[in-house]
Copies of this chain bind each other. A is one copy, B any other.
Amino acid sequence: MNKDKSTEEKIKDAARRVFTQKGYAATRTRDIAEASGVNLALLNYYFKSKENLFDIIMLENIREFSHSVLAILNNRDTSFYQKIELLAAHYIDKLIQNPEIPIFLLAEVKDNPKKLFAALDKRADFKNSIFVQQWLELKDIKKTAALNPFHIIMNMVSMIIFPFIANPMIRNRTGMNQEQFNNMMLERKKLIPVWITEMIQQK
């Protein structure tokens, strides 16, 4: 399986894992070489430098992330409320598989936002998404400051992603094990859309 991958792919796969786990600064090119089973010199042969390899990985991460949000936010075939359910379900499932992505991504983006976002799809601007369009067409929304759709998106994203970022601290404080944590997140797959819906509906 891994055997017939090109050397270049093997390096990228290992780099993705190691960078994600340890962050850029703490990762040694030697770690990546070992993890990929490839000779150290080949990293520079294929990718020129550690930084360049990192940039490639990060760009893919960000593109993939952005792309999958857009696919949901800009789907004309789903309703506003369906989108909320889809976002919660999709991301929680994804994050249970790859729990280290958010903290890695956000920590590294902090150091160099410009470089990393430079190549990002302009359409990723959520203000022009179908989701926001549908929001504006909704009849049952509140007439309070909470009406700002930005807050609602912010709340949803926060409630989905933050627990994964705080996972080690949560587990330490509550004594949960990883399985219990995941079950808690699966519970939230159903709860978050309910909470969000309550926030926006007129009463």
Q: Which A residues are within 8 Å of any B CB, using their own CB?
A: 22-26, 100, 103, 106-107, 109-111, 113, 117, 124-127, 145-146, 148, 150-151, 154-155, 157-159, 161-163, 165-174, 184, 187-188, 190-191, 194-195, 198-199, 203
Contact = CB atoms under 8 A, between A and B. Distances in A.
B103 A187 contact: no
B150 A154 contact: no
Contact of A191 (B107, B109, B145): B145
Nearest to A114: B172
B107 A107 contact: yes
Contact of A23 (B107, B124, B157, B203): B107
B25 A173 contact: no
A136 to B, nearest CB: 17
Contact of A103 (B106, B151, B159, B188): B106
A39 to B, nearest CB: 25
Contacts of A103: 103, 106-107, 110
Contacts of A168: 106, 109-110, 113
Nearest to A171: B113
Contacts of A107: 23, 103, 107
A151 to B, nearest CB: 6
